[in-house]
Amino acid sequence: MQGIEKKKTKETILRQPVSPETTTSKQKGGPSDHFQNVQVVKGINGLDKVVLRQIRGSSAEVYLYGGQVTSWKNDRGEQLLFVSNKAIFKPPKEIRGGIPICFPQFSDFGSLEKHGFARNRMWSIDTNPPPPTTNSPSRAAIDLILKPSKEDLKIFPHSFEFRLRVTLGLEGELMLTSRIRNANSDQKPFKFTFAYHTYFSVSDISEVRVEGLETLDYLDNMKKRERFTEQGDALTFESEVDKVYLSSPTEIAVMDHERKRTFLIRKNGLPDAVVWNPWDKKSKAMADLGDNGYKHMICIEAAAVEKPIFLKPGEEWIGRQELSTVPASYYCSELDPWRVGGS
């Protein structure tokens, strides 16, 4: 569901009983036994990570640090997200790659640290998550929650509750659902900007083509956020790009010709789409990306940037993105209109 809900989130008990070092491979939970595999293990530098596995072989990993997805593999075990081999998994440094969450501020659109603080906070497993929107027996999901600390409240004086659900579907599709609620008791509304800062793994940036953003207006971060209109065909890449496409369609395709793979990004509640590649000079300058990092990544970010989200006390906003892959070439016009599925 897109936008803001006034209703209070219904509370239920945790449906995936996860605890450190516990694997739940088969659970009785409904009319029939259903496969479910959620494991909490120690990741790099002893940081907790949640591993989701699907019966057909796909998997995903989510660090509690940042609530950040750092791995998404298809049923052939191929990594679909880019994580720099120089990434530093050490708080308070953000992890370079995967899907950082930008909240409560995208980039420097405001007075907070760049991209807000959610990406370098320790999230918790939500013991009281909202009910699943589908009871699909194949559901593999984890619910995380972030609430502000006393320190956070000094820089962002609002009692938010940020619930993040990461779901791995039967076909290996990866769904992220963010629910952000204003829990202020002082009747104060608050506003925020947001992005799923997704780093896709690509064979070579020069082989990539992005469809779905042509002819849109965008703010060019490299030109003081001046507004332009995209001309012509699908996007291809031969130099640095850092643009916020405004009011973009709910579906974007990222085609990797060399790998004969197309990523589909489906989004809801997130009107904008950011496209970023730092290219060679900036890549070299980023210690956690490295000289050639830029060649193998493209960030396409489902976002709410131009128009901040306003939440009154008790209101909840929901923003979703679903990632999937299809083989070879893909053309937007060939697909049916898309609707966000259950998570």
User: Which one, 51 or 87, has the nearer CB to ligand TA6?
Assistant: 87
Of the listed pieces 74-82, 107-115, 149-157, 164-172, which binds ligand TA6 according to CB under 6 A? 107-115
Catalytic residue among 211, 301, 306, 316: 301
Phi and psi at residue 264, in whole multiples of 5°? -115, 130
Catalytic residue flag (residue 34)? no
Residues 278-307 binding ligand TA6 (CB under 6 A) are 299, 301
197 binds ligand TA6 (CB under 6 A): yes
CA–CA gap between residue 10 and residue 204 (Å, rounded): 45
Residue indicated by tokens 């009785």:
28
Catalytic residue flag (residue 197)? yes
CA–CA gap between residue 327 and residue 259 (Å, rounded): 9
User: Which one, 269 or 293, has the nearer CB to ligand TA6?
Assistant: 293
The nearest distance, CB 283 to ligand TA6, in angstroms, is 11
The nearest distance, CB 48 to ligand TA6, in angstroms, is 22
CA–CA gap between residue 290 and residue 115 (Å, rounded): 21
The nearest distance, CB 301 to ligand TA6, in angstroms, is 6
The nearest distance, CB 210 to ligand TA6, in angstroms, is 15
- Which neighbouring-strand residues pair with 262? 255, 326
CA–CA gap between residue 20 and residue 253 (Å, rounded): 37
Task: Look up residue 303 and give its two tokens.
Answer: 């976002």
181 binds ligand TA6 (CB under 6 A): no
Q: What is the DSSP string of 16-58?
A: S---BT-EEEEEE-SSSEEEEEEEEEE-GGG-EEEEEE-TTS-
278 and 224 in contact (C-beta within 8 Å)? no
Q: What x/- string results for residues 245 through 274 when contact with ligand TA6 is judged by CB under 6 A?
A: -----------------------------x
Catalytic site residues? 197, 301
Contact footprint for ligand TA6 (CB under 6 A) = 94, 107, 114-115, 197, 221, 242, 274, 276, 299, 301
